[in-house]
Amino acid sequence: MTWDTIPQMVLSVDDRFGNAEAVVDGPLRLTFTELAERVRVAAGAFAEAGIDKGDRAAIWAPNSAEWIIAAFGLLTAGGVLVTVNTRFKAAEAHDIVRRSGAKLVLSQPGFLGEDYTGPPEVPTIDIKSDFLSSGSPLERAVSGDDVCDIMFTSGTTGRPKGVMMTHAQALRMYAEWCDLADLRQGDRYMIVNPFFHIFGYKAGCIASMIRGATVHPVPVFEVDRVLELIERERITMLPGPPTLYHSLLEAHAEGKWDLSSLRAAVTGSADIPVELIRRVVTELPFQTIRTGYGLTEAGTATISRDGDSFEDIATTVGRPCDGVEIRIADDGEVLVRGYSVMRGYLDDPEATAEAIDADGWLHTGDLGTLDERGNLRIVGRKKDMFIVGGFNAYPAEIENFLMEHPAVTQAAVIGVPDERLGQVGKAFVIKREDLTEEELIAWSRDRMAGFKVPRQVVFLDELPLNATGKVMKDQLH
């Protein structure tokens, strides 16, 4: 079944799945029929609040049933969704809202102790208020080529940029994702990935509506709450970062929780220990586990497949999705081309031209290699690379070496100025036991080329992470 737009697809869940559960959020349990009704009513509320076709509205709130209703209601009113990172402070969020041109903001005051309000000139509505249920049912016509959302990049090394995507792009990409990730009708899908990110919203909410899976939104990852939900709701689908699966393995070893319903896992990271994948598959009930590579500017570009080994899944991010090409440039940068590449950065033609070349290749800023079977391996970030006495040093590679030390639990490496060599490595490390700077540097000298060895090591209690788990290296000095 194909649809031209996300609203067409979402509103068809009534006919396709009827009284099956669509969303379970605490005591709230909505069927697909009820969800479609609420989306139409929310569309009317947006229209009555002044949202016309093509107008933008922002959601600055954690995962919830209301977030889903608001997002799909906005699109059904012909609007464009702007998602705002819930970890942003007020000034950062206001910058996104202003630059996006959003006409109103839906927020959840008090989440994570923040009082979420939009800029003074933009009305802010409490997403938990009766706003979403206040409209008269409405559906406006939009086309597949219309922009459906503007999602801002994570901004770990610079100011976030607004990525514009269309309805047709999202529907094609995440219909395929359902197949590759083994999402099935009737699955109970716990979404711990934040909705403001493509993994939570598109590979989560949109995919679930395409396939007919029940969404269980999780606003904050709290291990015991997640484990209790898995057992009580018989969760079958559970994507998330590698840290999620570490927690599941620890819980399984304690034997306190029934995790037997879990069937499908999807993760993604430049560096996943092979042993973690082996343990997830052999110790937990998961029947399928996938790793993938995605970015805001091109959605899910690659994903692993049936028959891939533990090593394939851990050390590569799989092969390109249908209609997506991957190429490695002469300098090692990963280039992506195909229908899924963004329409451009909002109000930034210069950055768009810099990112997408004349031949349609998106320059990702990631560095990688392709093996003989077409599996992509991500080795680092181009901007992270630093040059030590003429040699290219890649932080991700050095971080992987450091993680092999038994006392190191996390590591982040940056290049810092050096009078003699131009730049040298500086490592920020979280340790689990006694370890000195001198010991780690000496250990490193035995295991990696001299130019890769960090000249300084700083021990921290935690690394600065954004909400999607990426280290914010611009905060390391």
The reply to whether 88 and 160 lie within a common domain is yes
Q: Which of 110-124, 211-225, 297-311 has the lowest mean pLDDT?
A: 110-124
Whether residues 368 and 405 fall in one domain: no
Domain boundary among 314, 348, 376: 376
- The whole-number pLDDT of residue 170 equals 98
Output the domain CATH number for residue 444.
3.30.300.30
Is residue 26 within 8 Å of 87, Cβ to Cβ? no
Look-up of token digits 């959605």: 299
Are residues 44 and 123 both part of a single domain? yes
> Does pLDDT of 302 surpass 70?
yes
**Residues 6 or more apart from 477 whose CB is under 8 A from it?**
none
Residue in 142, 136, 140, 141 with CA at minimum distance from that of residue 44: 136
**Residue 308 and residue 316: Cα distance in Å, rounded?**
10
In a domain, 300, yes or no: yes
When divided into structural domains, the chain yields a total of 2
pLDDT at 160: 84
Instruction: Round to whole Å and give the CA distance between 385 and 366.
Output: 10
CB 229 within 8 A of CB 254: no
Dist CA 213 CA 24 (whole Å):
11
Determine the straight-line distance between the first and last CA of the chain, rounded to whole angstroms. 52
Angle ∠(32,37,39) on CA atoms, nearest 5: 95
pLDDT score at 271: 62
Domain boundary among 334, 351, 376: 376
Instruction: Give me the mean pLDDT over the 156-182 stretch.
Output: 91
Say what the alpha-carbon torsion angle 197, 200, 201, 203 is, to the nearest 10 degrees. Answer: 120
The tokens of 22 are what? 């669509």
Nearest-angstrom CA–CA distance, 342 and 36 = 28
Handedness of CA 376, 379, 384, 390 (dihedral sign): negative
**Enclosing domain of residue 406:** 386-475
Q: Answer for the pair 205, 6: CB distance below 8 angstroms, yes or no.
A: no
Crossing angle for the helix pair 242-254 and 274-283, to the nearest 10 degrees = 40
User: Looking at the structure, do residues 465 and 434 belong to the same domain, yes or no?
Assistant: yes
Least confident of 278-287, 313-322, 323-332, 445-454: 445-454
Identify whether residues 433 and 347 lie together within a single domain.
Answer: no
Please enumerate in sequence order all residues whose Cβ is within 8 A of that of 306, keeping only pairs 6 or more positions apart, or say none. 288
Parallel/antiparallel/unpaired status of strands 456-459 and 362-370: unpaired
CB 266 within 8 A of CB 203: yes
Residues 334 and 398 in one domain: no
If asked whether residues 171 and 225 sit together in one domain, one would say yes
In this structure, are 77 and 200 located in the same domain?
yes
CA atoms of 262 and 89, how far apart (whole Å): 35
Query: What pLDDT was estimated at residue 113?
Result: 77
Tokens describing residue 399:
């971080």
Query: What's 364's domain CATH number?
Result: 3.40.50.12780
What's the Cα-to-Cα distance from 9 to each of 18, 36, 67, 206, rounded to whole Å? 14, 10, 18, 9
Q: Name 188's bridge partners.
A: 214
> Distance (Å, rounded) from C-alpha 222 to C-alpha 87?
16
More confident residue, 257 or 114: 257
Whether residue 468 has pLDDT greater than 80: no
Q: What pLDDT is stored for residue 111 in this prediction?
A: 85
Residue 395 in domain:
yes
Residue pair 304/313 in contact (Cβ under 8 Å)? The answer is yes
Edge to edge, what strands does the sheet with 147-152 contain? Answer: 124-126, 104-107, 56-60, 80-83, 147-152, 162-166, 344-345
Give pLDDT tens digits for 407-418: 998 899 999 988
Using DSSP's 3-state secondary structure scheme, residue 401 falls into helix
Nearest to 426 by CA among 462, 398, 466: 398
pLDDT at position 151 is 97
Q: What is the mean pLDDT of residues 419-423?
A: 82
- For residue 1, tell me if it sits in a domain: no
pLDDT at residue 209 is higher than 70: yes
Domain contains 381? no
Residues 264 and 400 occupy one common structural domain: no
Compute the distance between CA of residue 442 and CA of residue 438 in angstroms, rounded to an integer.
Answer: 6
Query: For residue 114, what are its two tokens?
Result: 């923040």
Residues 166 and 280 in one domain: yes
Of 349, 376, 403, the residue at which a domain comes to its end is 376
The average pLDDT across 124-139 equals: 97
Domain-embedded: residue 216: yes
| Listed residue (241, 249, 232) closest to 191, CA to CA | 241
For residues 368 and 455, membership in a common domain is answered with: no
Residues 188 and 140 in one domain: yes
Q: Which of 222, 256, 255, 216 is nearest to 236 (CA)?
A: 216
What integer best gives the mean pLDDT of the chain? 92
